[in-house]
A and B are shown apart, each in its own frame.
Chain A
Amino acid sequence: MQSETPKKIFSSLLVIILDVNPAQDTLLSGEIKLSSILSSVVAFANSHLMLRTHNKVAVLASDPNSCDFIYSDQDELDFKKKTVSSCKMGGSQYELFSHIDRSIKFNIVKFLKDAAEEPHMSRDTVFGASCAKALCYINRLQSNLFPGETMNSRILIISGCDNEGDKYIRCMNTFFTAQKQNVAIDVCSLTHDVTLLKQACYITEGSYFRMPKLEGLLLYLQWIFLTEPSSRKKLVIPLAPQLDFRPFCFCHGTLTAIGFVCSLCLTIYCKISPICTTCEAVFKVRSAIAVKPKKKKIKTTTVNN
């Protein structure tokens, strides 16, 4: 691809996860069209590429049944194969930008057509799976770097879902992996406050932002999410939201401040129970309580004698 240079190369990879779930409130009510979200995303991706020559971008589309790349380095390879003249379309526009625009629009139509064939079983988008895919992609690019090249990566989730039903463990595993690999997860929520995604931002030190109104998506994206997480401290940016880390107990589903945790499977109960319902372990009563009656028995026998 590129000839090896002794110079140090810095690049930044941005993976955008776009929620195209048709059951989003914003899309159902017709307040904003998917096409306008898409054009903002494309413009945002282009402005990220403009910041540095070696910057890379990838886009994932995600809905309740599936998630897939709609722009990745495979599409970029297609671009490099083609001659420059065949790519030229929009007059003076940079060829790569028009290529990104076209391939994203082409792939998302394909994705939506495939998705329409399967009936949707639930309303929640699969963020766990899309983050996992994004991390796999980041991992591959990270391991294919040239010597002397360093790459920062981050993930941006754009969603209008009130998603609470995704699998908790899977999501948490991906968030912790992201944290371990220094991948920040940013979230731009269109309408609802989503606790799960807030936790993702908290864990990976990304930014969370809920749009106060739907107009000007591009403006908000460029204001908050265009800068690298490391330099965001110097900007005036909305504060991170307060988070409550008290868990919901398994038995009653209530918020608990003091809970009882199974030592084998870490299930949280709000009251002591003799058997764990998840792993079927029988809890032993503390020996301190069990020993007492024994002592009494011995005493009584001695008295009788």
Chain B
Amino acid sequence: MDETEVKEYRWEGGYEKTWEEVKEDEVGNVEWSVKEIIEKSKRLLATRQPNVRLGMMRHLFVIVDSSNSMVEKDLKPTRQLCTYKLLQDFIQDYFDQNPISQLGLITTRNSSAERISELSGNRKYHLEELKKTFGDFNYCNGLMSVQNSLEIALSVMKMLPSHTSKEILIIGSSLSSCDPGEINTTIEMLKTNNIRVSMIHLAAEVRMFRHLCNETKGKHNVIVDDVHFKHILWSLVEPVPLPNSVDASCVKMGFPQELEQKPPFTTCSCHLAEGGKLNAKGFFCPQCNSKYCELPVECKCCGLILVSSLHLARSLHHLVPIKPFIKIELEEGSSAYCYGCRKRIKVPAENVYFCESCKKHYCDGCDIYVHNTLHVCPGCAVKRDEKR
């Protein structure tokens, strides 16, 4: 976190010779050098430190600015539609990577804030609520109010148990905020509740917002274009390290079995209010035996968190990151096969990567794929002497 505070602005820093990064090869082509830079940026996404306490159970509120400024057309087609599209992907990715975490949505317009979806682990619900409100062309109106939306998030997050990672993400587009009171008291409240506020701003940096993020140990980002926006959102999908003040705890969870009922059939508790249909299959809470059609869910009757062991397994790869592979030089003329995809690597033209623990060679594509998506090194998976 110190790094962001020390960092100067571009115009304050020394003269950067960006063109020196691009080098010509013997024939005078720069293609190779550009490729290298692109690949470096892909790899940056994948570097993670092992042995860090991560917040595996996250509670995240996304505050979406729905002020007038969202109608600007600097992002194509408009800021609103671009944000809407990316936010949909973000919600999907968030639940893919953090299946036992929860998310809530807040919009702010007309100088006030509105909770459009409660904290819950059901992605369909969030996507539907988002579509109903923010997906509407005429939704954005008036001014943004950061303090009002933070207060709403705070009122919910105060009640959460202490072991969870509490986070707020603000997607801001307006350069001003219409607040009813002193924002510093709100920041103090956020700090005492261990809530981390991150911000993605679509236009420019505002000192107050930067201050808010720094104080609460979040990240402040200003986007360059839609691709950059997507990258930053993706970086927020991964679980963040927990602050030291957060305690570990033993959370009681239920692991219901999927059972088929004999007639008479019943409705599930999750769709009871909407007059749900009768169905035979369902998950039954091991504590109070109420029926649910989907997992993960918090039992409405007894409050037990119901998950499947698959949900827990899905988050485990965050805890055991793979070491980065090293780039090595092979003798010219020698040929190497990629251990992952069995591609023949042409030695001087393509890079060869090497896994230190299993001593196997990998090609460019597999290196990125293994670290970003697969989270398993095929060579190390053959060995059996490692933990877990």
Contact = CB atoms under 8 A, between A and B. Distances in A.
Interface of A: 65-67, 69, 72-74, 121-122, 126, 128-129, 132-133, 135-137, 139-140, 143, 167-170, 172-174, 176-177, 180-181, 199, 203, 242-247, 256-266, 268-269, 272-273, 276, 279, 281-284, 286-287
Contacts of A242: 258
A126 B56 CA distance: 29
3 closest A-B pairs by CB: A136-B340, A129-B381, A281-B248
A74 B248 contact: no
Among A65, A66, A177, A282, chain B packs the most CB atoms within 10 A around the CB of: A177
Given A139-B369, A258-B255, A173 B250 contact: no
A266 B308 CA distance: 12
Given A169-B316, A266-B312, A257 B382 contact: no
B183 interface: no
B309 interface: yes
Interface in B362-388: 363, 365-366, 369-370, 373-379, 381-382, 384, 386, 388
B317 A287 contact: no
Interface string B48-87: 0000011011000000000000000000000000000000
Nearest to A126: B382
A260 B253 CA distance: 6
A266 B54 contact: no
B255 A132 contact: no
B164 interface: yes
Interface residues of B, number: 59
Contacts of A281: 53, 248
A272 to B, nearest CB: 5
Interface in B299-344: 304, 308-310, 312-317, 319-320, 338-344
30 contacts: A66-B382, A69-B342, A122-B384, A128-B376, A129-B381, A132-B374, A133-B340, A136-B366, A139-B365, A168-B313, A172-B314, A173-B375, A176-B314, A177-B375, A245-B309, A247-B255, A247-B309, A247-B312, A256-B255, A258-B252, A258-B287, A260-B253, A261-B251, A261-B252, A261-B312, A264-B54, A266-B319, A269-B250, A276-B248, A286-B249
Contact of B341 (A139, A169, A263, A276): A139
B310 to A, nearest CB: 6
A245 B251 CA distance: 18
B282 interface: no
Contacts of B370: 132, 136
